[in-house]
Each structure stands twice: as C-alpha cells, then as structure tokens.
A and B are shown apart, each in its own frame.
Chain A
Amino acid sequence: MTLRDFIDKLLGRQPASAGMARERLQLVLAHDRSDLNPELLEQMRREILEVVSRYVEIDLEEGDVSLETEDRVTALVANLPIKRARPNPPPPGADPTMATV
C-alpha cells in the first residue's frame, strides 16, 4: 500500500485508478492469451475439482483454479486445500464415471 492509498482510505475517497487498471488488465489478458473464455474456465475448474475429489477430500470453499500471467506466460494455477485422503480411492483403471464425487 502506498501513502496515497492510505490517505485515500482515511478520507474515504475512491482509491487511485491505476491499480484498478493494472488488475483488470492482468485478468483480461490472462484470458485473451489463453483463448479461454470465463465459461470454459469454469467448466475446466469444475472438472478438475471433480477428478481431484475422487482421490482426496478438498475444501471446495477455499479451492481456487485461476489463470495467472507473468512475462507473457500464462499459467493455470490450482490451489486446492486437502481436508483428508479418501478412504476408498478408485482402483487404477476403474471406470471414472463410477467414482463418487
């Protein structure tokens, strides 16, 4: 936080807009660069959570799958806090549709 941000907060003013511009740009560019629209990303997020939760119990509230971009390289970053391992993970080669989700 810069001094300017701090003063703005004290006075209840709108924060300077450059930071907002930067954040909005970073988000929109991550999507532009990966050619993924938010809908597809959401679908991918659901499927990733589905697969992972066949093996471990994850905290869906805290879980986060998002695109991050740095130096023109876009990465898919998943942060999925694990509550505990599943007592009965599906055996190797099992029909994935049979797994409990």
Chain B
Amino acid sequence: MGAIIWGTSGKHVTSAQNRTILICSGKGGVGKTTLTANLGIALAKQGARTAVLDADFGLRNLDLLLGLENRIVYTAQEVLSGSCRLEQALVKHKQEPNLSLLPAGNPRMLEWLTPDDMKKIAGLLAEQFDYVLIDCPAGIEDGFKNAAAACREAIVVTTPEVSAVRDADRVIGLLQTREIEPIQLVLNRVRPRMMANQEMLSVSDVTDILALPLLGLVLEDDQVIISTNRGEPLTLNGSRSPAGQAYTNVARRLRGEEVPLADPTKEGRGLRAKLGRLMHTKIF
C-alpha cells in the first residue's frame, strides 16, 4: 500500500501501512456490522491502530454494537464542513483505546454524502490508523457506491443461504469492476449440524460459487446476540465462544498470520458427526 494524496487543501499522506477495507454483503442482516465491530476490536487488541467508519448513516448501528451510542457528538459531516476537527468527531473506545469509531452522518440528515466525501474522510483516517474498516450499508445503490469509492480492498460477508449468496455475487461483480483487490469472504451463521445433514449449502459450495478466498468461518452462536445486548463485542473480553474465536481468527488472518480453517462438518468427534460424515460419502 503506497501513499495516497487526497483533497485540495494540503497533502495528506497516508500511513505506509494503512489498509482501508470495505465490509459489505449486499443483503441486509447477514452480519456486516457485527463483523465490523468484532474485527475492529480484535485488530485493536492485537495492537493495530484501528478506526471503524459507519457508512450507513441513515440506519446506523455500529455505535450500538460497540456500546458507544451515548458518546457520539459529531460525525464525519461536521469534519467535512469544517465545524469540528477529526479528533473531536472520533469516539475512542474506553476499554480498547486503539479503536475509534467515526459515524459518517446523523440519521436525521438527508442525502449529503458523495463518493468524494467518503474518499476525503477515509483519506483523513488513513493518516492516523493502520486499519480503517468501513461498514457498508446494505444494497448496491448510492450508499454502497459511496463506501466502495473509499476502499482498496473488501471483505464480503455472506451466510450459507441462497438469497445471501446471490446478493454477495452481485456485490462481488461490482467490486471487481471497481478493481478492488483483494476481495475476501467471511461465511457467517454456519450451522454444522445442518451442513452435515446436507440441509445447508456447504462451505465449499459457497466458496466454489463465489470464487473468493475464505478469510473466516463463523458458526451460529447465541453469544452474538447476548454480546449485542450488552454492547460489548465478543472479541472485547477474549470470549472463548465459537463466534468470538472465529472473529479473532479473522483479524489474525487479515494481519497475515497463518491460522488454519477447520471444516465445521468434520470437527465433531461424536457419533452424530461421524454419522454425518458417513452420509456425505459418495457411493456412486
């Protein structure tokens, strides 16, 4: 990642290490914001200066998942209009000071963002942070286009369901025409038992269809809902729950560490898992 220069006022040179990553899915409700929150915390805990930017200013929720909803005073809009400095708008996480949140805008605002606005904001963040994660709105309209304009690489989140995979495919096509590289996949809400029973698309079904490298596999986990209730991402307190570990592993892989990916249908040692594997055997 080389240095980029944004804006007209001065030369903003990014930190040489900066990675600005779009987190998107096309379909809503597959876990973009949960991934952004958990990945942001995990990266910060691993020592990387990390900013999470909520590009979905109409229906913003990243603040809620991070437990920062009461601390937002300014947004990126005030930074762009010059009514505050970036430092004033950034909300630093108390427990994990390596992580800061920047909401793109206020839900009461009408459309004001342009792709250039997003580029400027991302450029400012890139000066100060190693990782900038942009939580993309659902859909493939303006909100997506704005967020995608600011990114060089992307993580596509999907679940093993036909609608989510189809929408992910659309988004991947759009990212590729924008020459966003690399694009990696996180497969969310995996249910090993259903997969073993062949009642859910398998991991290889999804990776074959979408033809993307797999960055992470997250099992369906009740702890995710419990952690959102509290506003404390699973990665914050080093949760040993399956999803918490999976998010931590996504962060480690993103930073270049080799962390093996286990096939969820082959993990179990119990009778049910063995039977599932037997049922999977091709007989002719």
Contacts and interface: CB of A to CB of B under 8 A. Distances in A.
Contacts, number: 62
Interface string B199-221: 11110010001110000000000
Contacts of A24: 162
A28 B170 CA distance: 11
- How many B residues touch the partner, as a band? 20 to 34
A66 B165 CA distance: 22
Contacts of B162: 21, 24-25, 28
Contacts of A72: 172, 210-211
Contacts of A28: 162, 166
Interface residues of A, number: 21
A29 B209 contact: yes
B279 interface: yes
A91 B202 CA distance: 54
B283 A2 contact: yes
A40 interface: no
Interface in B80-136: none
A7 B201 CA distance: 20
A94 to B, nearest CB: 41
A16 B197 contact: yes
Given A25-B165, A29-B209, A18 B283 contact: no
Interface of A: 1-4, 6-7, 16-19, 21-22, 24-26, 28-29, 32-33, 71-72
